[in-house]
Amino acid sequence: MKLATPDRLAQSAARLFQERGYEGVGLSEILSAAKAPKGSLYHHFRNGKSDLALAAAHFASREMLRIIDDAFTPAENYKDGMTTLFHKSAKLFDIMGKWNGCPVSGILLNGSPNPMFRKTSEMIFNAWISRVKEHGQRLGLDPDEADTRATHLFVVLQGGWDLARARGDSNVLRRLPDLLAQGL
Amino acid sequence: MKLATPDRLAQSAARLFQERGYEGVGLSEILSAAKAPKGSLYHHFRNGKSDLALAAAHFASREMLRIIDDAFTPAENYKDGMTTLFHKSAKLFDIMGKWNGCPVSGILLNGSPNPMFRKTSEMIFNAWISRVKEHGQRLGLDPDEADTRATHLFVVLQGGWDLARARGDSNVLRRLPDLLAQGL
DNA sequence: ACACAAATAGACCGTTTGGTCTAGAAGGAG
DNA sequence: CTCCTTCTAGACCAAACGGTCTATTTGTGT
């Protein structure tokens, strides 16, 4: 099925920003990847590249939430869900050519001090953490511990992805859940 | 004291890359920050921006190694050193205007698939981890545990910094060492 | 004082950037 | 059919990009 133009643009932008960051990708490249002319971009995204970046970040966020749900929904306890999440992430890392990063931090880390970028990345990261927290509570953790564990998980996944990227090797990601499981 | 031109260039580049990433900063900006003309840049760094980026990453790495040593050398045990390191990082985060990132990942995360960038970031990250590992062993951890703990610390610090950045708040960093201390 | 390398200085170049603007195609409502 | 809005199409632009090149100044050994 063929996506509508705005979605095609957001998806292509997300993929390219993951590879080389917000400032590292030109509009022309995104346009040709999405097979859309410049007129369409500025019709659907009034503020051009920056609006497109926000849409791309939201697109990637939805994908991440889906991965979280896929890992935790069939799990019998928090530790299992967490372990599955890290293994799914490692697999994703390999599929993506061992080179891509999180598009959300790819936008956050680069964009000039654009306050909208910062606010959006905060929102998205918090959404990921509270989704993990919900799963944790559903699996029997009390609210405080679920929150702590979810934050810890986020932080380790984010940092672990960077290390995997630098090493070009997803094995770090697979070894991390054991560290997080202490006390469960 | 006034630094030599190559050092001044590397330092200015590191600071600017921390703010907006490799692709986000133009040569002209680095040049005017370092008060050096273009001729000097290409005299000292034959391959221009990319060579400068490597020098900037090494400069920042040395700074990070110093912070690690400052935190662990006076510590009486691993947990204390770790806690101090996170508090020092939080302080640094606040001083830097709650907006800067790690220049090493700022180069890694953006640069076009430059293999030299990847290799260098891997080297630098590994150097940080093994420095923490050495301190851990000196403070009584056995080699295997020291290695695991050091990797865990790195990953949490890296991810925690990103979260602090998104939130514009260093408090996450201060709360993280408690999570890492489990089992010590 | 001289010679020679090291370093500074910045004009200049082709390319690419994000963004604007006008023209026309597509498609539904009357 | 006509009318009108939505969307596509891409030529065009000033500004900024990284990089090259030639002069000139600075520093040092003799």
Tokens coding A64: 């991440």
Burial of B69 (0-12, 13-18, 19+ CB in 10 A): middle
- In terms of Cα–Cα distance, which of B54, B110, B129, B49 is closest to A99? B110
Best of A79, A109, A156 to disrupt the B interface by mutation (most B CBs within 10 Å)?
A109
Distance CA B41, CA B36 (A): 7
The average pLDDT across B145-167 equals 97
pLDDT over threshold 70, residue A128: yes
Do residues B59 and B124 lie in contact, with contact meaning Cβ atoms separated by under 8 Å?
no
pLDDT score for A97: 86
Cα angle A117-A123-A127, degrees, rounded to a multiple of 5 = 145
pLDDT over threshold 90, residue A135: yes
- State which amino acid sits at residue A76: E
CB contact set of B109 (below 8 Å; sequence gap of 6+) = A21, A101, A105, A106, A109, A162, A165, B21
Note the CA–C1' distance, A157 to C19, in angstroms: 37
The average pLDDT across A55-66 equals 97
pLDDT over threshold 90, residue B101: no
Distance CA A138, CA A132 (A): 10
CATH number at residue A146: 1.10.357.10
| SS3 state of residue A101 | coil
Tokens coding B92: 């640094």
When mean pLDDT is compared across A93-97, B68-72, B98-102, B123-127, the lowest value belongs to B98-102
Q: How many domains does the structure of chain B reveal? A: 1
Give residue ranges of A with CB < 8 Å to any B CB: 19-24, 99, 101, 105-106, 108-113, 118, 121-122, 125, 148, 151-152, 154-160, 162-163, 165-168, 172, 176, 179, 182-183
Distance CA B84, CA B180 (A): 13
pLDDT over threshold 70, residue A1: no
Q: Output the pTM of the full model.
A: 0.95
| Chain C: bases < 7 Å from a protein Cβ | 7-12, 16-23
pLDDT score for A30: 98
Q: Which of residues 17-46 of A touch strand D (CB under 7 A)?
A: 36-40, 42-44
Domain that residue B33 falls in = 5-180
3-state SS, one letter per residue, for B93-109:
HHHCCCCCCCHHHHHHC
Question: Any alpha helices (H) in A103-170, and if so which ranges?
Answer: 103-108, 115-138, 143-167
When mean pLDDT is compared across A70-79, A174-183, B87-96, B126-135, the lowest value belongs to A174-183
Min Cα distance A111 → chain B (Å) is 6
B179 contacts A152? CB cut-off 8 A? yes
Burial of B1 (0-12, 13-18, 19+ CB in 10 A): exposed
| Chain D: bases < 7 Å from a protein Cβ | 7-12, 16-23
| Chain A residues closer than 8 Å to B160 by CB | 155, 159
Note the CA–C1' distance, B51 to C11, in angstroms: 24
Do residues B85 and B68 lie in contact, with contact meaning Cβ atoms separated by under 8 Å?
yes
Do residues A177 and A86 lie in contact, with contact meaning Cβ atoms separated by under 8 Å?
yes
pLDDT over threshold 90, residue A2: no
| SS3 state of residue B8 | helix
When mean pLDDT is compared across A9-23, A49-63, A144-158, B93-107, the lowest value belongs to B93-107
